[in-house]
Amino acid sequence: MKVDVLVADESHLGYAEKICDLIYISAQERGTGIAKRTPEYIREKIRDGKAVIAIAEDGTLAGYSYIETWGHTKFVANSGLIVAHEFRKTGLARRIKHMTFELSRKMFPYAKIFSITTGLAVMKINTEMGFRPVTFSELTDDKEFWAGCEGCKNIDILKRNDYKLCLCTGLLYDPAKQVTEKEKEENLNFISKIGKGIAMPFKAINKKLKSTR
């Protein structure tokens, strides 16, 4: 089935509740935290031109993602990537990710773009685009961003670690720094180890992440 991936506009406002349902279902399937979002929050992103939506030719919601700015637009977050179950393993997540990234670059060309996720597939796609794994200290310190994690089931882990470590992995794209192909490969290898569940002490992770800068 053909699926269109496009920047969402007001004609897509009616999908807000379905998007929220899909976010909830995705959180349950992963068994890890995806922060809850309200229909009004989704509508706000759509009205602001900060959302990407995937719609099948029969009108079915196939996927969604959005961007948010922090620190007076110094940082842009690529967030909320979801793909409906029946459209997974079709390359749709990659298409949504790339369009969200391009939208971020177009709207905020000088901003650092970041993502926090537990999804291995998302980590790999981001890394292929030039993102690198980083500690949370390199991400925005805007309290409103971290307040968005309040709806996540793992918020207690984040709080216990003083917002420096959680089950999510932080990924950052800095337009001022060009990541070489060799660095991308090294970062992908590191991400793959995380995805395989290889235990790494926090200090060791910090050391490894700093070495990728």
Q: Kindly give the confidence (pLDDT) of every residue in the chain, 213 residues in length, as a single tens digit, with 9 standing for 90 and above.
A: 899 999 999 999 999 999 999 988 887 776 655 567 899 999 999 999 999 999 999 999 999 999 999 988 999 998 888 999 999 999 999 999 999 999 999 999 999 999 988 888 889 999 999 999 998 989 998 888 888 788 777 889 899 999 888 888 899 999 998 788 888 888 888 888 766 544 444 444 455 555 545
Report the alpha-carbon distance of residue 36 to residue 200 in Å, rounded: 29
The whole model's pTM is what? 0.80
* Topology at the third CATH level for domain 3-211: Aminopeptidase (3.40.630)
Query: Could you tell me the sign of the dihedral formed by the alpha carbons of 20, 96, 104, 193, in that order?
Result: positive
